[in-house]
Structure 1
Amino acid sequence: MEFLQVLALALMPAVGNFGGGLIAEFVRTSRRTLSLALHVAAGIVIAVVAIELMPEALGGAVAWLVVGALLLGGLFSLVLEAGVDALVDRYGGDTGSGPWMIYAAVSVDLFSDGLMLGVGSAVSFSLAIILAVGQVLADLPEGFATIANFKDKGLPRGRRILLSASFALPCLFGAAVGYWLLRGAGESMQLAALAFVAGLLLVAAIEDMITEAHEAFADTRWSAMALVGGFGLFTLVASYFEA
């Protein structure tokens, strides 16, 4: 029963992503809107790391273990990114590979969301709930940005919706991996796993989301406010649930 609850939580980021995609389907999108959405998503992901994951990890595990796991998570994120780049180099070119690059990147991100929830549930189910809500908030603008990119590449609407719905699979798989690998593990290992996920998400927010946002549209003062607003939004939601 507990595992089914974890899977239900893991569906929440995928639903958020899908909901953001539906918004992009029915409203007019622009590169400026895409950039702002990615800044909001990055702010939320950074807040997840700063407010929930790292304080939880440092509160119960030795600092060297937490920092080591954080660095490993960042390294793992870079390895995943290198794998995506290698696939794009092999199958890319000017033949419409853009949507598939986006699909691979978002799949990796949603796998990390599921992994975070599986790991978080091993530490505390209430923590997993807060993280799930935070990822829904982050994945709404990410889903919007994803579908906006698909539209920009000329992918048909039916295929866009199908691909958006399929993002539930990597999220569920990540949750299952995180749950079963850490079930019964010691507290230090569970908290180190939180730091590992924090490293992965930190790289994704800074190197992927922010970089893509800058490529979509030149920075403005509103971009900075969108980043801070995303951070503040998750802080408010997390404080509400903890209260």
Structure 2
Amino acid sequence: MNEYLVVLAFAALPALGNFAGGALAEFVPVSRLMLNLALYSAAGVVVAVVAVELMPRALEADPAWAIVLAFVLGGVFYVAVDWAIQRLNDRYGGEGGAGPWVIFFGVSVDLFSDGIMVGTGSTVAVGLGLLLALGQVPSDIPEGFATVANFRRRGVPRSRRLLLSAAFAAPIFLGATLGYWLMRDASELNKLLLLTFTAGVLSTLVVEELVPEAVEEVPESPLSSLAFIGGFALFALLSTYLEVE
């Protein structure tokens, strides 16, 4: 149990990073360009999570068709949830449309994957779990900022925004719990299938929601590409220098 509490303490680091980004969006004037850059930065980080951290591990698994299928199912799952949210929004109406809620879901999945990595990594070595948690913090700050800023621009009340920002702690603690208690005794293939499913969800999130939302705010800006590249590079550097064999 003491080790599990340590895992939860590790998982709290990315959760605090995400909340800090959301809190920053509450006090900093949110321009359309700033929101555009935050979304592109978050997209770059998410792509790096998939390309640098998740898929290289998954591609080591056999059979390859199972890995590919898990990736496809992750994308299909995201599309299905996106469709359901859009239909509910069309039927019952929503504050500012379904876009912010889909981003909220996608960031929750990203945080859940963070928790899975922290929890699973901690079963390998305590130091690995800590380094994985620290590596997620810079990626979660722009995600939290972009999500709360999007809700703010769409007119969602501040009390609800703060509640939603705090709610981001739930998926990462859930992921860390599952990663520690369930995945520690699972086969390597099952661990990689779960990570690949998550990679499919996150990849579809970038294409379907983060980038379109950013383009809607500012259609053309040379800074957008730099923000995307910067987000990717930041996570890649952290993943490289904090890696534990």
Query: TM-score band (shorter)?
Result: 0.7 to 0.9
1:140-161 CA-partner distances (Å, limit 9, x unpaired): 1122122222322333433322
CA pair 13-106 structure 1, distance change in 2 beyond 3 A: farther
CA contact (8 A) 1:18 1:165 kept: yes
CA contact (8 A) 2:99 2:213 kept: no
CA pair 136-119 structure 1, distance change in 2 beyond 3 A: closer
**Distance across 1 between alignment mates of 2:180 and 2:228:** 31
**Distance across 2 between alignment mates of 1:76 and 1:56:** 21
Q: What root-mean-square deviation, in Å, do the aligned CA atoms of Structure 1 and Structure 2 show?
A: 2.5
**Distance across 2 between alignment mates of 1:134 and 1:7:** 16
Spell out the pairing of 1:132-143 with structure 2 (5 A cutoff).
132-143=133-144
SS in 2 for 1:218: coil
- Match of 1:97, as an amino acid? E
**2:41 paired residue number:** 40
CA pair 100-168 structure 1, distance change in 2 beyond 3 A: farther
CA contact (8 A) 2:115 2:174 kept: no
CA pair 152-107 structure 1, distance change in 2 beyond 3 A: same
Between 1:104-113 and 1:42-51, the stretch displaced more is: 104-113
Between 1:16-25 and 1:143-152, the stretch displaced more is: 143-152
SS in 2 for 1:242: coil
- Match of 2:203, as an amino acid? L
- Output the TM-score relative to the length of structure 2: 0.85
Q: State the shift of 1:235 in Å.
A: 0.9
**1:15 paired residue number:** 16
**Distance across 1 between alignment mates of 2:179 and 2:90:** 31
**Distance across 2 between alignment mates of 1:48 and 1:24:** 23
Spell out the pairing of 1:181-200 with structure 2 (5 A cutoff).
181-200=182-201
- Match of 2:5, as an amino acid? L
Between 1:69-78 and 1:172-181, the stretch displaced more is: 172-181
Q: State the shift of 1:186 in Å.
A: 1.1
1:112-143 CA-partner distances (Å, limit 9, x unpaired): 42245325633645665455344432321122
Unaligned 5+ runs, structure 1: none
**2:84 paired residue number:** 83
CA pair 130-90 structure 1, distance change in 2 beyond 3 A: farther
**Distance across 2 between alignment mates of 1:49 and 1:127:** 18
CA contact (8 A) 1:99 1:150 kept: no
- Output the TM-score relative to the length of structure 1: 0.86
Mapped pair 1:171 → 2:169: no
- Match of 1:8, as an amino acid? A
Identity %: 45
**Distance across 2 between alignment mates of 1:215 and 1:162:** 26
**1:3 paired residue number:** 4
1:91-130 CA-partner distances (Å, limit 9, x unpaired): 21xxx52277624641453244224532563364566545
